[in-house]
């Protein structure tokens, strides 16, 4: 809503003379005034128009003001709509309490003082305008935040590709050249030792680049999906941290999700594992992925020392950039992050609604949960090349 956009004010009364008087009093505010002569007519306007303020008489036939206010408040769209009661009959304190219980923000008695009514309606109109402006700004902020996260993932993907295809290929070529140089006759032993050392260094650099490339953006995430990418990452995590990890997925053959959603889930679980490594002192971590029709649930549980109440309540002054980033990533898909203690350990829960079809034509299957212990055998050969110091 723009600063100059008019607020819709609905005036409800079964007496036309009163509606005309309210219109005369409020006309100078410059807002959009809408008249309704009954509760039914008022409901029709509410369903068709974005109403900011409802000014209504309490005593009306068929549907009185109290009943109408209760019906308005029960609708999710009108939880914050300002309702002002006007009454010349129900003037006791009990009547006022009843009005406030039904959702009124003010209760005005007859005779109406024009200046007072104008001032009150003006305040609520401005509050409605500011609220709508704030909602618009928040929506734009969420859009920009989502765009920023997408750009970051695109940059990671580009950097990973450049590291692997550019520098990695150059180092591999240098290694082949060095390996092809024959030892000179003068000091073959020295030349052989130098050549071997240089070759080993280049080998190590190639492995480091490949590992960085995979961690920046695992190609498995693009190629075969979330399940395989998590299996690969957990094996590497176990080798680097020494923490036993178990992955559990249901259904067994997890269907593909939109790439952006899979990336968000992967990054959130990656951050949860990193936090467990840094802070929990855990010996074992369980990662569970469960897909149902309305949502996908991810759980990361450790057997460590747990978290404080402030952290579990996600208080801004108690959480770091990592958890804040997880919250924001999930919000972009309408999801939420929950933290709680597990006695022992911590449980990190991701809940994301699924409103898009799976990206692949793999059919969803219901079946028993499968647990893959990634600590005892290799899932992918590349994971053995993950460097030791990445935390």
CATH of residue 48: 3.40.50.2300
In this structure, the answer to whether residues 325 and 352 fall within a common structural domain is yes
pLDDT (0 to 100) of residue 384: 32
Within a domain: residue 327? yes
Task: Name the pTM for this structure.
Answer: 0.47
**Domain count within the chain:** 3
In this structure, the answer to whether residues 102 and 172 fall within a common structural domain is no
pLDDT (0 to 100) of residue 9: 92
In this structure, the answer to whether residues 181 and 295 fall within a common structural domain is no
Within a domain: residue 335? yes
Within a domain: residue 135? no
In whole angstroms, give the CA distance from residue 11 to residue 117: 12
In this structure, the answer to whether residues 257 and 176 fall within a common structural domain is no
pLDDT (0 to 100) of residue 338: 92
In this structure, the answer to whether residues 190 and 253 fall within a common structural domain is no
Structural domain harbouring 327: 224-385
Within a domain: residue 332? yes
pLDDT (0 to 100) of residue 183: 60
Listed in sequence order, the residues at least 6 apart from 56 whose beta carbon sits closer than 8 Å to its beta carbon are 10, 11, 12, 13, 42, 65, 68, 69, 83, 84, 85, 86
Q: Which of 37, 93, 98, 108 is nearest to 66 (CA)?
A: 98
In order along its 391 residues, the chain shows pLDDT tens digits of: 555 688 999 999 888 888 999 899 999 999 999 999 888 888 888 888 888 899 888 888 778 888 888 888 888 788 778 888 888 776 677 877 888 888 788 888 888 889 988 998 998 888 888 888 888 888 887 777 777 777 777 777 777 776 666 666 767 777 776 676 666 655 677 667 767 777 777 777 777 776 666 666 677 777 778 888 888 889 888 988 899 999 998 888 788 888 888 888 988 998 899 889 988 899 999 999 998 878 899 999 999 998 888 888 888 778 877 788 888 888 888 899 999 998 889 999 999 998 644 333 333 333 333 343 433 333 333 333 333 333 3
pLDDT (0 to 100) of residue 217: 65
In this structure, the answer to whether residues 182 and 299 fall within a common structural domain is no
Specify the residue for token string 């971590």: 285
In this structure, the answer to whether residues 192 and 324 fall within a common structural domain is no
In this structure, the answer to whether residues 378 and 233 fall within a common structural domain is yes
Within a domain: residue 381? yes
CB 296 within 8 A of CB 290: yes
pLDDT (0 to 100) of residue 304: 92
In this structure, the answer to whether residues 258 and 356 fall within a common structural domain is yes
In this structure, the answer to whether residues 246 and 373 fall within a common structural domain is yes
């Amino acid at each position: 809503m723009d600063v100059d956009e008019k607020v819709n004010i609905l005036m409800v009364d079964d007496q036309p003379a009163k509606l005309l008087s309210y219109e005369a009093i409020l006309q100078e505010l410059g807002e959009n005034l809408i008249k309704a002569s009954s509760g039914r007519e008022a409901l029709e306007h509410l369903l068709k128009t974005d109403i900011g303020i409802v000014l209504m008489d309490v005593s009306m036939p068929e549907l009185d003001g109290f009943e109408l206010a209760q019906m308005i408040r029960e609708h999710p769209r009108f939880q914050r709509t300002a309702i002002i009661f006007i009454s010349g009959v129900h003037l006791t304190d009990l009547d006022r309490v009843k009005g406030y219980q039904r959702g009124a923000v003010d209760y005005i008695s007859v005779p109406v003082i024009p200046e007072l009514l104008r001032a009150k309606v003006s305040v609520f109109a401005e509050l409605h305008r500011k609220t709508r402006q704030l909602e618009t700004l928040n929506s734009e902020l969420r859009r920009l935040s989502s765009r920023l996260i997408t750009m970051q993932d695109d940059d990671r993907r580009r950097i990973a590709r450049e590291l692997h295809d550019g520098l990695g290929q150059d180092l591999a070529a240098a290694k082949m050249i060095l390996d092809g140089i024959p030892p000179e006759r003068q000091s073959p032993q020295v030349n052989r030792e130098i050549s071997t050392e240089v070759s080993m260094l280049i080998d190590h650099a190639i492995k480091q680049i490949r590992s960085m490339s995979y961690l920046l953006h695992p190609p498995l995430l693009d190629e075969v999906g979330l399940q395989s990418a998590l299996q690969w990452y957990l094996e590497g995590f176990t080798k680097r941290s020494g923490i036993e990890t178990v992955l559990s997925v249901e259904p067994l053959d997890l269907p593909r999700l939109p790439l952006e959603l899979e990336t968000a889930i992967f990054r959130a679980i990656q951050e949860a594992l990193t936090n467990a490594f840094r802070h929990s002192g855990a010996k074992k971590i369980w990662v569970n992925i469960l897909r149902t029709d309305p949502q996908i649930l991810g759980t990361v549980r450790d057997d460590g020392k747990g978290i404080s109440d402030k952290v579990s309540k996600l208080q801004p002054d108690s959480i770091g950039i990592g958890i804040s980033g997880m919250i924001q990533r999930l919000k972009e898909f309408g999801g939420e992050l929950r933290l709680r203690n597990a006695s022992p350990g911590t449980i990190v829960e991701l809940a994301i609604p699924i409103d898009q079809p799976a990206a692949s034509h793999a059919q969803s299957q219901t079946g028993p949960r499968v647990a893959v212990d990634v600590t005892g055998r290799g899932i992918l050969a590349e994971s053995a090349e993950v460097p030791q110091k990445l935390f």
